[in-house]
Amino acid sequence: MEIRCKKENCEYNTGCSCKAHSIAVDRAHSCCTYTPSPLKQNLIDQNGNIFEVAENKVQNHLRNVPLTCTARTCLFNKEEKCQANGISVIDGDQGEQEAGCATFCRG
């Protein structure tokens, strides 16, 4: 399964690839595994410019990781397991404070 993550400040994000041992998506299609990392927060340099601390992009996003999903209306949810070929995690409904499953597809 290909797991892409756009949450650069997540503890499990390495080069836009999720390194969590398991992933959980809730009924509101939010990624419950998302954990903000204080080490990856935006920084402001002396000139007031904002930049992010992030690792280089990783080429391989394919992993076999358990992905539970309680979003019952999602087309890819089969008995609370994600059947999609891959998922993408982005900002959730609450913006940067939350992570959402962009692969969610109302079935």
Kindly state whether residue 106 falls inside one of the protein's structural domains: no
Q: What span, in angstroms and rounded, lies between the C-alpha atoms of 63 and 48?
A: 39
| Domains held by the chain: number | 1
Average pLDDT of the segment spanning 84-102: 89
94 pLDDT higher than 60: yes
Per-residue pLDDT tens over the stretch 15-59: 888 999 999 999 999 999 999 987 766 554 555 555 555 555 544
Kindly state whether residue 25 falls inside one of the protein's structural domains: yes
Show the domain range for 15.
Answer: 2-101
Residue 71 confidence class, pLDDT cut points 50, 70, 90: very high
User: At 61, phi and psi to the nearest 5?
Assistant: -105, 0
Kindly state whether residue 107 falls inside one of the protein's structural domains: no
What predicted TM-score, i.e. pTM, was given to this entire model? Answer: 0.77
Bridge partners of 99, per DSSP, are 91
Q: What span, in angstroms and rounded, lies between the C-alpha atoms of 4 and 57?
A: 11
Kindly state whether residue 27 falls inside one of the protein's structural domains: yes
Total residues found in the chain within this entry: 107
User: At 39, phi and psi to the nearest 5?
Assistant: -75, -20
